[in-house]
Copies of this chain bind each other. A is one copy, B any other.
Amino acid sequence: MSEATRSPRLDLRGAARDAVRDQVAESALRLFDEHGFDATTVDDVARAVGISPRSFFRYFTSKEDAVVGDPMPYGRLVTDDLAARPADEQPWDSLRAALQRLVDDAENDRGMLTMRVVMSSPSLRARHLEKHLAWGQMFEPEVLKRIGGLAATRRLRAHALIHAAFACLDAAFGEWVALERARTLSELLDDAFQALR
């Protein structure tokens, strides 16, 4: 049967799968926060949620994946927001606006917990940073549209702008966690972006 003619039931299945995934991820997050990421094995997580270790790796591509998640869905959202910005806007402003999507979604207890766990382990931080690489590639075409100047250096400048934006994002996240939400993520991100004008 072809992809197009499949019954909508498959969406239900997908939804069920996503629900399980979320639940496993949340249990994992709690365990990692409580006992440490390295000290908690995949077997521990699997046992806690009542699935086999083998099945854990059917839901997540890696142990880290249960915390940092797939970069693509958010990447698409933010890229769409970026594409929807006015064509004559300064790229730096477009980037700030587009990242608001991530800010809105992270500014809650779950986001705080996730960031705290991410920052607690080098391998998680590394995966987190890798997400920026994936997003950066998705953003590039949109940012290039808004960049003028010498053609020979456009790609370089787009790259620098994009990853500087991520640097601001991480600085804001870091401060947000360190201050324990004394200020809003949105404000902190504004400050960080402002510092690089």
Contacts and interface: CB of A to CB of B under 8 A. Distances in A.
Interface of A: 122, 125-127, 129-130, 133, 153, 155-157, 159-164, 166-168, 170-172, 174-175, 188, 191-193, 195-196
B160 A195 contact: yes
Given A129-B129, A130-B126, A167-B164, A175 B159 contact: yes
A191 B156 CA distance: 8
Given A163-B171, A164-B196, A191 B153 contact: yes
A146 to B, nearest CB: 12
Contacts of A168: 160, 164
Nearest to A172: B156
A147 to B, nearest CB: 8
Contact of A192 (B127, B156, B166, B192): B156
A174 B156 CA distance: 8
A98 B153 CA distance: 22
Contacts of A191: 153, 156-157
Given A130-B125, A133-B125, A171 B159 contact: yes
Given A160-B172, A166-B167, 4 more contacts: A153-B195, A156-B195, A159-B171, A160-B196
